[in-house]
Amino acid sequence: MQKVRWGILGAAKIAREWVCPGIQSSDRGLVAAVASRTPGKADSFAARYGARVTDSYEALLADPEIDAIYNPLPNNAHVEWTLKALEAGKHVLTEKPIALRAAEIDTLIAARDRAGKLAAEAFMVTHHPQWLRARDLVQGGAIGRLRQVQGAFSFLNRDPGNIRNDAAVGGGALRDIGVYPTVTTRFVTGAEPVAVTHAEIEWEAGIDAAARVMADFPDFHLDFYVSMRMAPRQVMAFHGEDAVLTVRAPFNAYAYGDQVIEIREADGRVVIERFGQAEQYRAQANAFNDSVLDGLPYACPLEFSRGNQAFIDAIYAAAGPAA
């Protein structure tokens, strides 16, 4: 069976704990090589998969036995190394946010088209069966006319050395977790925001540690908050005229809690759908591999990512400059 041979740029925690296990367990993918600029840092990580270790990112991109690159580098390096991977003739999956501004994604789209390779942002939620089901239910009229979407995503991170708290590399709550309420709302509804009506940011040392956002869509409203300074919480709720659909562990499914959709109807009846041990990172790898090998459409193309980054850009603009 033909498989996509993956090369990993660095040994980031998300690569070690989530994305690479998903690639290795996928039907047609394998972790073939890991690049690290720090001697010894990637050795035990690569050994798990029987993968090679290269001592530079450039060497990984030049390797003819690598088909696809996974890029989990710091946020400010995403565009640079996505472009380099495409220029090297590799398919590339880049962690979110794939760019810090929407205009940068236009550059990536042009590079993708020149290279004729798949380039995509690693929004694993767009491949999770619970989100595919939520989209079908909402767009199929299961909750009636959608009027309101509410979301929350928080976790506690007070470590000044954590990359998410570093303004120099594009840290901050909106880029790290705020992208999830926006992307899942857009994914489920197929709609785009028309205005950000309120955006309030709590700034700390140049990064947005927390944010509260309200936005208008053509037929409904969205409000959500995100924080890196609060106890963990995740929820997304789609409130229609006939029912409320709630995704209980919407973003870190399985790790945060049970993968469950709850539909609470106007008459009080509650329907619960469970998704067992569905692995969204494995689903993401399967989708990417199938697109590379069979040319199948990919659920999260760069055009969709651009819409999400434009939304984040609009939130920052509405909130105003850092205090």
202: exposed, middle or buried (Cβ count in 10 Å: 0-12, 13-18, 19+): middle
27 Cβ neighbours under 8 A, 6+ residues apart: 286, 289
One-letter identity of residue 105: I
Q: How many Cβ atoms from other residues are within 10 Å of residue 323's Cβ?
A: 8
Alpha helices in the chain (DSSP H): 13-14, 20-25, 43-47, 57-62, 78-87, 102-115, 129-139, 173, 179-189, 280-294, 302-319
Sequence-distant (6+) residues with CB within 8 A of 177 are 153, 154, 155, 226, 228, 251
Structural domain contains residue 69: yes
Identify whether 298 is part of a domain: no
How far is 322 from 208, CA to CA, in rounded Å? 8
Euclidean distance between CA atoms 287 and 296, whole angstroms = 8
Domain that holds residue 24: 4-122
Q: Copy the structure tokens of residue 39.
A: 């001697």
The per-residue pLDDT for 277 is: 82
pLDDT of residue 276: 86
Number of domains in the chain: 2
CA 87 remoteness from chain centre: 23
Same domain flag for 252 and 181: yes
Quick one: 152 and 199 in the same domain? yes
Within a domain: residue 40? Answer: yes
The pairing of strands 243-247 and 229-240 is antiparallel
Pair of tokens at residue 143: 């909750």
d(CA 110, CA 102): 13
Whole-model pTM above 0.95? yes
**Is 140 found in the same domain as 118?**
no
Judge if 89 and 104 occupy the same domain: yes
Domain boundary among 122, 145, 174: 122
Let me know whether 217 and 140 are in one domain.
yes
Residue 288 lies in a domain: no
User: Are 152 and 181 in a shared domain?
Assistant: yes
Q: Which of 89, 105, 122 is where one domain is finished?
A: 122
Catalytic site residue 96? yes
Say if residue 105 is in the same domain as residue 134: no
Residues of the chain under the 70 pLDDT cut: none
Among candidate residues 84, 90, 96, 117, the one labeled active-site is: 96
Task: Let me know whether 49 and 111 are in one domain.
Answer: yes
| 132 is a domain residue | yes
Do 263 and 222 belong to one domain? yes
pLDDT of residue 41: 84
Pick from 122, 152, 167: which residue ends a domain?
122
The candidate with the shortest Cα–Cα distance to 105, out of 314, 308, 319, 315, is 308
SS3 163: helix
Residue 155 lies in a domain: yes
Q: Are both 171 and 199 inside the same structural domain?
A: yes
Structure confidence at residue 40 (pLDDT): 80
pLDDT score for 39: 78
Task: Tell me the two tokens of residue 38.
Answer: 């720090």
Q: Is residue 299 one of the residues assigned to a domain?
A: no
Contacts of 269 (CB under 8 A, 6+ apart): none
Positive/negative CA dihedral, 238, 244, 250, 256? positive
The CATH number of whichever domain residue 37 belongs to comes to 3.40.50.720
What is the model's pLDDT at position 17?
95
pLDDT, position 134: 98
Q: Which two tokens stand for residue 177?
A: 């977790």
**Do residues 238 and 134 share a domain?**
yes
**What value does the mean pLDDT of the chain take?**
97
Query: What's the rounded Cα separation, in Å, for the pair 256 and 16?
Result: 18
Structure confidence at residue 243 (pLDDT): 98
Asked, for residue 60, whether it belongs to a domain, the answer is yes
Looking at the fold, whether 138 and 272 belong to one and the same domain comes out as: yes
